[in-house]
Structure 1
Amino acid sequence: MTADWLVCANCAGRVSEGRCAVCRAELARLREGRGPWSHFGSPAALIALLLTLVAVTFLVTRPT
């Protein structure tokens, strides 16, 4: 989940802007919830990683 489209009930602004203390607390909570491997959670990132591994395997095992 991203804070790009979340609207704060306290200040009626986007949470990603961090206008009030409630927005800043929610941003901190969202950032804390993401781990170091969260960027591999999207399907596009997993496909890119898989294609990279296939390309490296092909380059290593090809005959000279």
Structure 2
Amino acid sequence: MLEKLTKREKDVYELIKKGLNCKKISEKFGISICTTLKHKTNIFHKLNIHNELQLKCYLLPEKNLKKK
């Protein structure tokens, strides 16, 4: 499903996976927090995620695969 994301959304997604919050992501890319939140909203929409908990659950299988 990640193929639905734009390059920037994938970049934001990767930083969310690493545990960065919107403020840190904004600082890293030199963009406003509003822009970061918009990318995050787009990610949620494209991945059919409705809240932070669902996002964490979505990330879990991917993290578990890397441990093996």
TM-score by length of 2: 0.29
Could you tell me the TM-score, scaled by structure 1's length?
0.31
Q: Which has the higher helix share?
A: 2
Q: Which has the higher contact order (CA 8 A, sep 6+)?
A: 2
Q: Which has the larger radius of gyration?
A: 1
